[in-house]
């Protein structure tokens, strides 16, 4: 049976929705990433606090775990989404965390919420990977079917084209009836 303390603590901490996580996974520099402002919102911390925690533990975050967006990338993202969900004016461009970087955040941010959020983020990345694999598999199957049916139906298509072609004109004299008896 749930205690009153557990019930109250579960009410205070909003549930992390997988749909919300999947919406903030972006493709940048050919990597699936999550931006520091989005992660901070999920973890319930200020973006500045998240970046400071990463900088204090820089040895845990090599370049393939996290990178800072260029101003051009930031401007491009803002123009794509029209309204910025990152709050007001920014002095610095956001950081992008790869799947490995997000996993490493769990060792830096140690709250109970951070653990729950990390679990859901890892699940979202796995779902995304499965979805992409399914689409790639379907594309391969479709290509194989196209090749298979093209070969099988080539004769049928050739026969239809012959039937659709205009008839050849005979080279001999006139054909038809004459009104005059001979």
The region that residue 145 occupies, defined by phi over 0 for left and psi between -120 and 50 for alpha, beta otherwise, is: alpha
SS3 content of the chain, % helix, strand, coil (to 5): 60, 10, 30
> Would you give per-residue pLDDT tens digits along the chain (182 residues)?
444 444 444 445 556 677 788 888 898 998 999 999 999 988 888 999 999 999 999 999 999 999 999 999 988 888 776 545 555 556 789 999 999 999 888 788 878 888 888 888 888 888 888 887 887 777 777 677 667 776 666 666 567 667 766 666 655 566 666 676 65
Q: Please state, in angstroms and as integers, the Cα–Cα distance from residue 142 to each residue in 13, 60, 151, 159, 165, following that order.
A: 46, 43, 14, 25, 31
Domain boundaries of the chain, sorted by first residue:
7-128
Burial profile 127-161: b = 16 or more Cβ within 10 angstroms, e = fewer: eeeeeeeeeeeeeeeeeeeeeeeeeeeeeeeeeee
* Among 52, 29, 68, CA closest to 105: 52
């Amino acid at each position: 049976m749930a205690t009153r303390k557990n019930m109250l603590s579960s009410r205070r901490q909003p549930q992390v929705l997988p749909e919300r996580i999947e919406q903030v996974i972006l493709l940048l520099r050919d990597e699936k990433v999550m931006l520091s402002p989005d992660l901070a919102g999920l973890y319930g911390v200020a973006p500045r606090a998240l970046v400071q925690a990463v900088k204090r533990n820089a040895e845990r975050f090599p370049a393939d775990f996290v990178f800072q967006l260029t101003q051009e990338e930031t401007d491009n993202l803002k123009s794509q989404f029209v309204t910025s969900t990152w709050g007001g004016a920014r002095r610095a461009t956001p950081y992008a965390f790869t799947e490995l970087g997000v996993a490493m955040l769990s060792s830096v941010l140690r709250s109970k919420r951070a653990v729950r959020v990390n679990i859901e983020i890892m699940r979202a990345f796995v779902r995304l990977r499965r979805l992409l694999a399914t689409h790639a598999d379907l594309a391969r199957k479709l290509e194989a079917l196209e090749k298979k049916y093209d070969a099988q139906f080539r004769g049928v298509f050739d026969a239809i084209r012959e039937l659709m072609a205009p008839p050849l004109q005979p080279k001999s004299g006139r054909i038809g009836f004459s009104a005059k008896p001979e």
